[in-house]
Amino acid sequence: MNTWVPVLAVALSLLCGSVSGAFASPRQGQSTDSSQSKKQSAKKKSSAKRKAKKKKRRKLSRRVRRITRAFVASSDLKPMARQLLQDRSRAAYAGVEAYARRHAGTDEAALAWLALGYAHIVDHDYAKAVSALKRAQPRAGELADYVDYFLAMAYGAQGDSAGVVKALEKFDSNYPDSLFAVDAAVIDANALVAQKQPQDAITVLQPHRRPVRSDVELALGRAYIAAGQTAQGADILHRLYYAMPLAPEADAANSDLQKLPPTSVPIPTFDERKMRANSLLTARHYDDAVREYQALLPSAPEKERPAIQLDLGIALHHDSKDSDAKKLLQSIPGADTEVNAERVYELMEIARAADDQDQILKLVAEQRQEAPASSWFDRGLLLAGNACLLKRDYDKAIDFYRELDQRFPDSPRAHYAHWKAAWLNLRQNRADEAKKEIEEQISRYPGSPEVPAALYWRARMAEQDHDPGKAHAYYQKLTDRFSGYYYAGLARQRLKQLGSVADPPPDPLLEKIPPATLPPALGQDQDTPDDVRVGKALLLQNGGFVTFAVRELQAAAAPQGPATWATDKIVSLYQDAGQYNLAIELVKHIAPNYFSYDLSAMPRSYWQALFPRPYWTELKNESLRNRLDPFLVAALIRQESEFNPGAVSHANAWGLMQLLPHVGRTLARQQRVRHFSTPLLLVPNMNLRLGTRYFRELLDHYNGNVEYALAAYNAGTDRVQDWVSNGNFKDFPEFVESIPFTETREYVQAIVRNATVYRQLYGTP
């Protein structure tokens, strides 16, 4: 068995595209102290300490200067390396190799050979990988750890354990800060075991056990067994299998344990087996969880049996075995109040899947009787309210939502339930009740996500009451506090219609709404540290190694905590690499409340990262060809795929505009696309061509109404037709707020608001 194959697989998963653009050159650090007191204080330092610090700075700067020179010299390698690591075509290989030979004996040639070596590893051509990487070694410089690590990977994949050991000799001492320190130790240890040196393998692995990694534990357990310390090795593998069941090495550990004498293998405790089953259930590995719970149940202590049966029932339900789940959950004896409340809730979930409203109502009544204080009754009330909402039994839905809010005011679901009751009362034309409850929403839950809707609809009611001052105040609060939200855009339109009005008296209700959390200090000029890791990222981007470049920047910033210079560079790197989805997610992570911000709250570069315009020429042309607003199409793509052309969803939707294969085939026939196949949906031009045509058809079906078309794009035309036919909506915002599927409602609102931000950022398409 090739024991380093799992590590090779993990490393190959880091394959990434290249980057265009350059980081700013690191500044050479010089003292900026100017005051006399600082000078006098500096003179008091020992001469030896000053000299040591100066020497260290000079040495570090020389290393960075060399990297910077290599970065500048290799800038023309970047597009070729990117192409090589993206498609690894014969032409791409030839181009990068020609570059390497043309620049023989230089640092940039070494970078080209490194890219070639890695590409050959990905293509499983390990002999060519070894040849290329050996050519990279003499001038590898600060990327020598990459060369040696990839070389070890190539040797290991060929089964050359001696080559691995030689390549990684003194890796720890030569590269103590390498990103590959732990990965190299695992490969080295596996090779040492193959070379009959298990004790050396143990010595290599022991320093890398914290934090715990499954690949380290697997290699260490095997090394102990190979060294004759079977009990210790078996204990490590045993703990790996039961405590880390989601790790790819868990099954390998169990397989190894099966080969050992039974007397040397620890007997798993009930708690260990339960821990493994629970981990699988939590991670949604339902099929595996079912097997574990079924095996565990016969040995469960009497007191534990109801909970185990409940978990098995949950796993069966999520594994699409509702008949078995229902049968089991209906016959769990001896459960305590909380377990029984959850049992009933799971039966409600099964009834919802079967669209059995009568059963849902019966079960929620049982919860009310048996467990009125349980959080599972809280969840049951919400489920029952939603079920009634879908059946258009609005009064019953209101009753359930209101009961949830009154019984569980501190529940994380209370604010949503309160709003649904308020909204349904408004839709039922109970204006006084709705007005009271909408104001309660703002007063009791001022930080809830429903507040923008509450502000907008309370302002609309004020308009109907001929109170323009109050309406203006609420609209203004909405636009000021929730600048980028869907309802803020609607409020701006209403403010224009209202025109100027007399200032109303202060409304204490509006003062309850907390201010927006300000974004971090993004985009501010910060000194990039004179750090070798930053320099390595410079080279790695030219070599096509986006993921590794990002990891080097993150490691450079780690000692000082979050650093805006690193964030700026990583965002830029992702954009230059065409990985717009990763740039979007990064900015979302560091500024999660960005839709509350005015455009002036963050630098324009961050807004452009959040709302990019890749494939703009094609997107604009296809949009205009189909009489679509390009910004609306960009907003839709941002919501669907975040501009990842290779996206394939769990629902089997493909590409930028997330088209289902059968939809793509139909559209391709209409557009007379010859030799269409599903993978063509991952080609941006083709996806844009078909996707814009599809959206145009939806708009035509709904007479140009954007909200209806967007809802149909997400939920299907049949559902939208049902909602529209039975809704009697006064206007489009009322339709949007009434969409019973939360995902679809938020989807429509997000795309409309995204399009607004695009227009604010870029003006005319």
Helix axes 451-464, 486-498, angle to 10 degrees: 20
**Over the Cα atoms of the chain, what is R_g?**
31
d(CA 9, CA 703): 52
- The catalytic position among 142, 217, 640, 737 is 640
* CB of 391 closer than 8 Å to CB of 359: no
User: What 8-state DSSP symbol labels residue 125?
Assistant: -
* CB of 610 closer than 8 Å to CB of 736: no
* CB of 244 closer than 8 Å to CB of 214: yes
| Secondary structure (3-state) at 648 | strand
* CB of 167 closer than 8 Å to CB of 134: no
The H-assigned helical ranges of 445-504 are 451-464, 468-481, 486-498
**How distant, in Å, are the alpha carbons of 121, 214, 239, 600 from that of 249?**
22, 6, 12, 49
Q: Is 640 a catalytic residue?
A: yes
Question: By C-alpha distance, which of 601, 564, 570, 565 is closest to 583?
Answer: 570
Count of beta carbons in the 10 Å neighbourhood of residue 413: 17
Q: Look up residue 548 and give its amino acid.
A: F
d(CA 347, CA 361): 11
| DSSP characters over 145-181 | HHHHHHHHHHHHHTT-HHHHHHHTTTHHHH-TT-TTH
Q: Give me 84's structure tokens.
A: 């090589």
Token match 């289902």: residue?
A: 660
d(CA 346, CA 314): 7
Token match 């080559």: residue?
A: 163
Burial of 746 per CB tally in 10 Å (0-12, 13-18, 19+): middle
User: What 8-state DSSP symbol labels residue 456?
Assistant: H
Residues in a beta bridge with 659: 654
**How distant, in Å, are the alpha carbons of 13, 334, 411, 437 from that of 422?**
49, 40, 17, 5
**Helix (H) and strand (E) counts in the chain:** 42, 0
- What's the half-sphere exposure (Cβ side, CA atoms, 13 Å) at 364? 27
| Secondary structure (3-state) at 659 | strand
d(CA 663, CA 653): 10
Burial of 297 per CB tally in 10 Å (0-12, 13-18, 19+): middle
Q: Look up residue 622 and give its amino acid.
A: E
d(CA 754, CA 307): 46
Question: By C-alpha distance, which of 322, 373, 338 is closest to 330?
Answer: 322
d(CA 62, CA 524): 27
**Residues assigned a catalytic role:** 640
